[in-house]
Amino acid sequence: MSYTVLARKWRPRQFDEMIGQEHVLRALINSLDNDRLHHAYLFTGTRGVGKTTVARVLAKALNCETGITARPCGECRACTEIDRGRFVDLIEVDAASRTKVDDTRELLDNVQYAPTSGRFKVYLIDEVHMLSTHSFNALLKTLEEPPPHVKFLLATTDPQKLPVTVLSRCLQFNLKRLQPAALVAHLQRLCGEEGVAFEARALELIAASAQGSVRDSLSLLDQAIAYGGGKVTDSEVAEMLGTIDRDQVLAIVQALAAHDGRAVLAQVAAMDERAPDYAEGLQALASLLQRIAVMQLVDPAIEEGPERAALAELAIRMSAEDVQLCYQIALLGRRELALAADQRGAFEMTLLRMLAMRPAGGASGTQGEDQAATPARAAGLAGGGASRAVPAGSSAAAAGAPVAAGALPSGSVQHSRPAAARKAAPQAPARPASAPGRERGAASAAGQNRPAAQGDDIDWRSLIAAAGLRGAALQLANHCALLRCEGALWHLALDESGAHMNTGNIRGKLEAALGRHLARRVELRISSEAPPAPTPAHLEARERDERLQAARDAIAADPNVQALQETFGATLDLNSVEPLQRKE
């Protein structure tokens, strides 16, 4: 007897034999049990997830001699003939080979005739998106109003290519890629049924390579059994697939965490003996770093499996910034592999870049003084030009502020500088945080007018800040300067930029807010004369300009930014720098 490949031997013949498509099976089973049948079904999804299999089981469910049922008997003539591909009333069509409109018309010529031996005449059209526009037009009328004895089952890997007129006439079911864990469990069960010895890691490699496809996983298992002489082992499957050993990838990350360049190159040399795909190696490295980042920032207990302890240790040894930096370098290195003449050399260069570009002190993974002294550790990695804020009046090195992303070329990374160079960096004078008392001093230094009223020393800017003004009333007050107070009558000077706000309604709101705050009546007389001293709006604009200039000076003086400019020819986009907002 000839050998039957696993993908055909273990093809599901009942709905309950399928794995991973419960959302589709539930809808079909309920419709069959309740006799709520549609005339056209569309099954979509990537290759090997069960589109045609679902359609064939549905055809059996519709034509089983025991009646329309979600659990066909599998023993009657209709069920057995459908399983063998001999049922005369199941017309399977490969649309990829019958794209012409004449083929479609020939197919539909027999739609009007009753089924020969079954309950329904079922048309199963695979890869239906391959039909031509004229073929779809010929199909539309029949698809919309078929005879009661006809059912259409359509399958496609590319539903976007189907006309909306076809989509609107079908019940659409999207079959999902299977998760690796579900594929591994399925392969373990089949190996047990076949009596094949296997290693769990080998099946995990097969499931990962199948990328969610059941058929691909079974084809790879067939190949692995033949390659291993009847058994499926980790080393032989990795050699067959040309995949990277995950233990070696883990060892590389451990060497990176220890800042051990010799160990990194030794692991690359060990990998090279198996002629690996280095692009896949960088992908595996990025995947491992992503898992470490999740453990660091989301939940340390989220990781499962044999590598959990090692990843937990790396999550502690490496800082979150180092993990993000190495992840970005891995992605960029994978993109650059195609440009390199020597794949191994490019892979090594990417790993050495992870060592060279890491900030001083990053090897230990501590998050204390060393990391506080290493600003802009991942500057420019994401590109995109999003501006970054730096604290006003302090150097970027002291404040730990990132460099403006738009100032650096996309994909650039921070260059490590010695600690002595950072300590010698010029520091911009620090500006104290604002407080009401300090604002009063600033107003005094700027010549703010403080008239006396009933023995009180009134600071107009501090007063309107404390009064809780909002909206137009606040804007009006900000553009005024207090001239004098005569009992309940207050005289204000309004600069010309705020003249449009001097209306009775807004002035009334300002009087009411001040009255509530002072617990006495306040009447305002606002004149259009030039204010004798800067208004609060002028003072805020001046201070904002000072903070912006201090931030730009701090960025320009940062030794890490200067290193990027010297090493990579980076350009600093000062227009993307913004000072941090002060907290009152």
Q: CATH number of the domain that 466 lies in?
A: 3.30.300.150
154 residue type, one letter: L
Tell me the C-alpha distance between 255 and 253, whole Å.
5
Please choose, from the candidates 539, 541, 547, the residue with its C-alpha nearest in 3D space to the C-alpha of residue 429: 547
Tell me the C-alpha distance between 452 and 92, whole Å.
97
Contact at 8 Å (CB) between 579 and 551? Answer: yes
Judge if 46 and 106 occupy the same domain: yes
What are the tokens at 521? Answer: 């009546």
Q: Three-state SS string across 492-503, please?
A: EEECHHHHHHCC
Q: What is the pLDDT of residue 572?
A: 84
Q: What is the pLDDT of residue 367?
A: 39
- Domain membership of residue 81 (yes or no) is yes
CATH number of the domain that residue 363 is part of: 1.20.272.10
Phi, psi of 172 (to 5 degrees): -100, 135
Tell me the C-alpha distance between 514 and 463, whole Å.
8
Tell me the C-alpha distance between 13 and 558, whole Å.
68
pTM above 0.95, yes or no: no
Judge if 14 and 148 occupy the same domain: yes
Tell me the C-alpha distance between 418 and 299, whole Å.
34
Judge if 84 and 206 occupy the same domain: no
Residues spanned by the domain of 73: 6-174
Contact at 8 Å (CB) between 411 and 329? Answer: no
- Domain membership of residue 37 (yes or no) is yes
Judge if 155 and 205 occupy the same domain: no
Judge if 70 and 218 occupy the same domain: no
- Domain membership of residue 548 (yes or no) is no
CATH number of the domain that residue 218 is part of: 1.10.8.60
- Domain membership of residue 565 (yes or no) is no
Half-sphere exposure of 2 (CA within 13 A, CB side): 3
- Domain membership of residue 469 (yes or no) is yes
Judge if 25 and 102 occupy the same domain: yes
Tell me the C-alpha distance between 217 and 212, whole Å.
8
Q: What is the pLDDT of residue 305?
A: 66
What are the tokens at 232? Answer: 């499926």
CATH number of the domain that residue 134 is part of: 3.40.50.300
Domain count, the chain: 5
Q: What is the pLDDT of residue 121?
A: 93
Tell me the C-alpha distance between 142 and 105, whole Å.
11
Neighbours of 563 (CB within 10 A): 17
Look up residue 192 and give its DSSP letter. Answer: H
Q: What is the pLDDT of residue 448?
A: 38
Judge if 383 and 474 occupy the same domain: no
Q: How remote is the C-alpha of 559 from its chain's centroid?
A: 32
109 to 42, 103, 415: CA distances (angstroms):
22, 10, 72
Residue 419: enclosing H or E segment and its boundaries? helix 419-423
Residue 294: enclosing H or E segment and its boundaries? helix 278-297
pLDDT truncated to tens, each residue of the chain (584 aa)?
A: 478 889 999 999 999 999 989 999 999 999 999 989 999 999 999 999 999 999 999 999 999 999 999 999 989 999 999 998 899 999 998 888 877 788 788 888 888 889 988 899 999 999 999 888 888 888 888 888 889 999 999 999 999 999 999 999 999 999 999 998 899 999 999 999 999 999 988 998 899 888 899 999 999 999 999 988 889 998 888 878 877 777 889 999 999 999 999 999 999 998 888 778 888 889 989 999 999 999 888 877 777 667 788 888 898 888 888 999 999 999 999 988 888 888 999 999 999 999 988 765 444 444 333 333 333 333 333 333 333 334 333 333 333 333 333 333 333 333 333 333 333 333 433 333 333 333 433 333 333 333 334 335 688 999 988 988 888 889 999 999 999 999 899 999 998 888 888 888 889 999 999 999 999 999 999 998 888 888 999 998 899 889 899 888 888 888 888 888 888 888 888 888 877 765 44
- Domain membership of residue 12 (yes or no) is yes
